[in-house]
Amino acid sequence: MIEPHGGKLINRIVSEQEKKRLKDKIFVMKSIKLNRRQVSDLEMIAIGAFSPLEGFMGKNDYENVLHNMRLSNNLVWPIPITLAVDKDQVKRFEIGEDISLLDEFGKVVGILHLKEVYSYDKELEAEKIYRTKDEKHPGVKAVYSQGDTLLGGEVTLLEKPKHIEFNKYYLTPQETRNIFKERGWKTVVGFQTRNPIHRAHEYIQKCALEIYDGLFLHPIVGETKSDDIPAEIRMRCYEVLIENYYPKERVVLSINPAYMRYAGPREAIFHAIVRKNYGCTHFIVGRDHAGVGNYYGPYDAQKIFLEFKPEELGIIPLFFENAFYCKKCSSMATLKTCPHSKEEWIFLSGTKVREMLQGEEIPPLEFTRPEVAKILIEGIKQKRVDYNI
């Protein structure tokens, strides 16, 4: 089986014995209240999804990632995983002490073993990671709105989050690796989308299944943009599609609790590394993977993989064009396989699909399965009820 990034799958979840030892100490520790994204990062570090990270980055790793897309030990790593706080909070802390980490409800979820406190340049991070300083970019906006000081140090997670709404699909990297091993899969293709699955996705996934042993569907359920389809609806779409159109014994569906950063090319590398930690040998990279707006050029998310030697990443990217239905071919196709003109293609924009669904109009069969369209329409109707729209 493929090795985790850095050679070791990290586990920073506290043992029951250690939890008992910490029980009395936790409530006298100084504390930091985390936002949802920070809690998500804490979880992803602790379960090994962000291996080899064992905590929030220190200054050397942070600066190397910004400028070189590598950790200070030269291991490829494209996205900073940091804990930002306000300057006023920092005055209370001392290097070497343990700090309890609270979720948005005030519950203690983990511990930071504080090793470093350092300042950083928000605009520089925005420019390096997102290729723009425009605060309209959701990733840049998140950086600008967070604290001015970064805390570095190893973390301890007190217990895995429940993820009640997706409980049966919550699998850690160790658990997915065990499943792949039990099924005898030597090659596993990872696929991610923050959008509802449609026929183009299905076509790409099944092309991969023709060649490799198994398919790992791993949609992000951490926070995305406000106009993205909610995670619970996207998961129901996956369920109905697998039930009716996929060989179930060759597919594993699991949630990815991470947050989208919309960092385009850098995030494509990041997503590949995360799936490597979950046990994937291959990862599907779309034309505009993790993109938003017009901040990244066509195929930038694929081109960036050429900046690294294959052995540095360890996971093999699979590059796909945007797929569409060609009326003349009478099948799904891409620019690589279809010789016909655009007039023959059924290729709907996300905006057009949303308009059709809001009007309770089922998109054409060539674009989406009717079972999926029904779930999306019901989801939009329920959203109107919930928000009195």
Number of domains making up the chain? 2
- Examine the domain organization and report whether 73 and 190 are in the same domain: no
- For residues 279 and 41, give the distance between their C-alpha atoms in angstroms, rounded to a whole number: 19
pLDDT, mean over the chain: 91
Tell me if 4 is assigned to some domain: no
What pLDDT is attached to residue 161? 80
Catalytic residue among 12, 131, 177, 194: 194
Whether 248 shows a pLDDT value over 80: the answer reads yes
CA 92 to chain centroid:
33
Please state whether 201 falls in left (phi above 0), alpha (psi between -120 and 50) or beta. Answer: alpha
**Helix H segments across 305-349?**
310-313
**Percent of the chain clearing pLDDT 70 (strictly above):** 95
Using CA atoms of 273, 278, 284, 287 in order, give the dihedral in degrees to the nearest 10: -50
Tell me if 271 is assigned to some domain: yes
- For residues 194 and 208, give the distance between their C-alpha atoms in angstroms, rounded to a whole number: 19
Q: In terms of residue numbers, what domain contains 72?
A: 16-157
244 included as an active-site residue? no
Q: For the segment 187-227, what is each residue's pLDDT rounded down to a tens digit?
A: 999 998 777 788 889 999 999 999 999 999 999 887 656 66
What pLDDT is attached to residue 88? 87
Q: Which of 176 and 104 is assigned the larger pLDDT?
A: 176
Tell me if 310 is assigned to some domain: yes
- Examine the domain organization and report whether 50 and 149 are in the same domain: yes
Among 157, 180, 215, the domain-final residue is 157
Burial class of residue 96, CB neighbours in 10 A (0-12, 13-18, 19+): exposed
Edge-to-edge strands of the sheet including 324-326?
A: 331-333, 324-326, 345-346
Whether 389 shows a pLDDT value over 50: the answer reads no
Q: Which helix (H) or strand (E) holds 94?
A: none
CATH number of the domain encompassing residue 298: 3.40.50.620
Please state whether 289 falls in left (phi above 0), alpha (psi between -120 and 50) or beta. Answer: beta
Among 323, 342, 375, the domain-final residue is 323
**Residue type at 324 in one-letter notation:** F
- Examine the domain organization and report whether 45 and 194 are in the same domain: no
Stretch 278-302: mean pLDDT:
93
0.75 exceeded by pTM: yes
Stretch 306-333: mean pLDDT:
94
Reduced 3-state DSSP string for 274-290: HHHHHCCCEEEECCCCC
195 included as an active-site residue? yes
Whole-number CA gyration radius for the chain: 22
Report residue 48: phi and psi, to 5°: 95, 0
Whether 261 shows a pLDDT value over 50: the answer reads yes
- Examine the domain organization and report whether 152 and 197 are in the same domain: no
Q: List the one residue out of 302, 285, 291 whose CA is nearest residue 138.
A: 291
